[in-house]
A and B are shown apart, each in its own frame.
Chain A
Amino acid sequence: MLSISNLGVIFTQYDQGLRRKQLTVITALDLDVQAGEVVAVVGASGSGKSLLAHALLGILPENAAMSGTLQFQGEPLTPERSRSLRGKAIALIPQSVGYLDPLMRVGKQVQRVAQLAGQSKANASTSVDRTFARYDLPMATRDRYPFELSGGMARRILVSTAVVTQAQLVIADEPTPGLHPDVVRETLSHLRELAREGRGVILITHDIEAALQIADRVAVFYAGTTVEIAASKDFSLGNLRHPYTQALWRSLPQNEFVPVPGNQPSPEHLPEGCLFSDRCPWVSDICRAERPPLRQLPRIG
């Protein structure tokens, strides 16, 4: 339903005085999502995960320019189309309760989301009731303010905002950090459920473990490029292809717990060739000179 190829995002900033500076924050992202599947997007901070979500929703800052091809349900996803689809066909599940208006009752906020998705006020109200019931949220929750919610309740309300819209594509941006393991499990199962209903789900996270629990496939981002898209089971089977993915896997506490040496390059000093070249154990002269394109590899094993 969604296919992204070679997405680039450039920020234009004013440096000193009137000198303009171009910052390449996303170099070449590739991703595709089918209806009914959960695709996890993992990567370190600054790898372009959240910006991808913002690009899909057309909420990048005004100084951003996009390149590459985006296709949603068979048609090009232009910024104009994003604007008309967001909140209706594409929904965002935000990171934390900080994404809710602190001074508005949560029931009203979720109802507003349903209304923006095209439902009448009365229908929207029923949708909220139905959705809250589905997630075991007591009716009194509607009258609560965000600061009165427990961590688990807040998560379920944030998931509700996507569920009331009937959106076919749901983007969950870092839905799990700082939560109790039970709440993490519950949130992940809710996302899996959304996929079972036939929606496409993008799970943006830096928690590989969480991603592997529910995702069908995992896309690994590094410095604004997709370095690998692998099936979830490839991780535990050791069928990983890219040295960065392998290093990430090894860095998990339950595996070898060895950190990946070096740092992700900053958008201000991107290397000429492959963005991972300065940390890559297999680096060669060719990849120092030019960036290798993403290739389809045969299944291993």
Chain B
Amino acid sequence: MQIRLLLVFAAQKLLRLGRLLMAVAVFTFVLLSFSPIDPVKAYIGADMMQISADQQALIAERWGLDQPMWSRFLDWLGQLLQGNLGTSLVFNQPVSEVIASRFQASLQMLAIAWLLSGLLGLALGLIAGALEGHWIDRLIRLYAYTLASSPTFWVALLLLIVFAVSFKIAPICCAAPPGVLSQNVTFWQHLHHLLLPAVALSIIGIANIALHTRQKLIDVLHSDYVLFARAQGESLWNIVRYHGFRNILLPAITLQFASLSELFGGSVLVEQVFAYPGLGEATVQAALRSDIPLLVGIVFFSALFVYTGNTLADLSYPIIDPRIRLGGQ
């Protein structure tokens, strides 16, 4: 019974993912077809002057650019279904390889930022919510509102100025010291370069999670069951410990997984500021240099990434909330 339910769940999720990716494929294709980027020009680049109009037409014909849009779309979709995402023009490598290697670099940064923003956001939100109206609450809110309204790249630049330029305790750029071969980079050097971008990225997430957690805890503290707990002589901190934490966990986890998409978006800006060679930085390069295959590949990958995050949140609900776990039986 359990296994059957799980299979049905998995099948539903996969079907939905298929539909989502199909929609993303159509939108991406149509948008790029109407974009002013000329694929032939993008491919040839600076040598455009040396290529005659006839030769350009020949390339266009070979690529099927003279075909109507729907037939090009079907061609492209056919390749996509075979797992061929094409070759990146910027990196001169298969798109899948570029994404794999770049994502590896980003993943560590994203993971640190995700954990930091989750834990700190939760802690600050709990403190502010429990002390609603207290000056500590006001301070945390001021901090959260300030951060929530400051642009990511600006915060990143500020961190860079303070920690890399003034205090010189963080590297100014990149994922490794310059001039060191990638196989010779030590774990500490790696972490050293990772930390500041990760912190910059997490700072934005903290504000959002703290404010949501605070509001949810306030709701819980005004509930009937907390009133009853107070009537039993439970102290404020024990109320937060026994009832608050339990009851804000579900929304907190939803928010935490939903924040994956924001982190992913933020990483584009942060990696650009820190010149960190991750997927976000590759996105900017692909866009600036009209690398359509890579751009499309990244669009697909990010859709998959965010979808996975939301599915993980869905899967966690029955584990946390007995009403969902047992209620359906």
Give Cα A104–Cα B232 distance, bound, in whole angstroms: 16
The one of A94, A102, A145 in contact with B228, judged by C-beta atoms closer than 8 angstroms, is: A94
Give Cα A161–Cα B230 distance, bound, in whole angstroms: 13
List residues of B whose CB falls within 8 A of some A CB: 224-225, 227-234, 242-243, 246-247, 321-323, 326-327
Query: Which residues of chain B are within 8 angstroms of A145 by Cβ–Cβ distance?
Result: 322-323, 326
Give Cα A59–Cα B326 distance, bound, in whole angstroms: 34
Flag if A101 contacts B231 (CB, 8 Å).
no
Give Cα A244–Cα B229 distance, bound, in whole angstroms: 36
List residues of A whose CB falls within 8 A of some B CB: 57, 59, 83-84, 86-88, 91-92, 94-96, 98-104, 112-113, 116-117, 145, 147-148, 161, 165
- State the 3 A-B residue pairs at the shortest beta-carbon distance, nearest first: A87-B233, A87-B232, A99-B228
- Residue of A whose beta carbon sits closest to that of B323: A147
Query: Which residues of chain B are within 8 angstroms of A57 by Cβ–Cβ distance?
Result: 230-231
The one of B225, B227, B230 in contact with A102, judged by C-beta atoms closer than 8 angstroms, is: B225
Flag if A87 contacts B323 (CB, 8 Å).
no
The one of B242, B247, B326, B327 in contact with A112, judged by C-beta atoms closer than 8 angstroms, is: B242
Flag if B323 contacts A102 (CB, 8 Å).
yes
Shortest C-beta distance, B135 to chain A (Å), equals 16
Query: Which residues of chain A are within 8 angstroms of B227 by Cβ–Cβ distance?
Result: 59, 99
Query: Which residues of chain A are within 8 angstroms of B322 by Cβ–Cβ distance?
Result: 103, 145, 147
Flag if A98 contacts B225 (CB, 8 Å).
yes
Query: Which residues of chain B are within 8 angstroms of A98 by Cβ–Cβ distance?
Result: 224-225
- Residue of B whose beta carbon sits closest to that of A90: B231
Give Cα A83–Cα B323 distance, bound, in whole angstroms: 33
Give Cα A142–Cα B233 distance, bound, in whole angstroms: 22
Flag if B327 contacts A147 (CB, 8 Å).
yes
Flag if A116 contacts B234 (CB, 8 Å).
yes
The one of B225, B231, B326 in contact with A92, judged by C-beta atoms closer than 8 angstroms, is: B231
Give Cα A100–Cα B246 distance, bound, in whole angstroms: 13
Flag if A101 contacts B327 (CB, 8 Å).
no
- Residue of B whose beta carbon sits closest to that of A96: B224
Flag if B228 contacts A92 (CB, 8 Å).
yes
Shortest C-beta distance, B325 to chain A (Å), equals 9
The one of B230, B243, B321 in contact with A59, judged by C-beta atoms closer than 8 angstroms, is: B230
Give Cα A101–Cα B247 distance, bound, in whole angstroms: 8
Query: Which residues of chain B are within 8 angstroms of A161 by Cβ–Cβ distance?
Result: 232
Give Cα A133–Cα B232 distance, bound, in whole angstroms: 22
The one of B225, B232, B326 in contact with A116, judged by C-beta atoms closer than 8 angstroms, is: B232
CB contact under 8 A between A101 and B225, given known A83-B233, A86-B232, A113-B232? yes
Give Cα A188–Cα B232 distance, bound, in whole angstroms: 22
22 contacts across the A-B interface (CB closer than 8 A): A59-B227, A83-B233, A86-B231, A86-B232, A87-B232, A87-B233, A88-B233, A91-B232, A92-B232, A94-B224, A99-B225, A100-B228, A102-B247, A102-B323, A103-B323, A112-B232, A112-B234, A116-B232, A145-B322, A145-B323, A145-B326, A165-B232
Query: Which residues of chain A are within 8 angstroms of B326 by Cβ–Cβ distance?
Result: 145, 148
Shortest C-beta distance, B254 to chain A (Å), equals 15
Taking each of A98, A102, A103, which has the highest tally of chain B beta carbons within 10 Å of its own beta carbon?
A103
Query: Which residues of chain A are within 8 angstroms of B231 by Cβ–Cβ distance?
Result: 57, 59, 86-87, 91-92, 94
Give Cα A145–Cα B325 distance, bound, in whole angstroms: 11
Give Cα A217–Cα B304 distance, bound, in whole angstroms: 69
Query: Which residues of chain B are within 8 angstroms of A100 by Cβ–Cβ distance?
Result: 225, 228
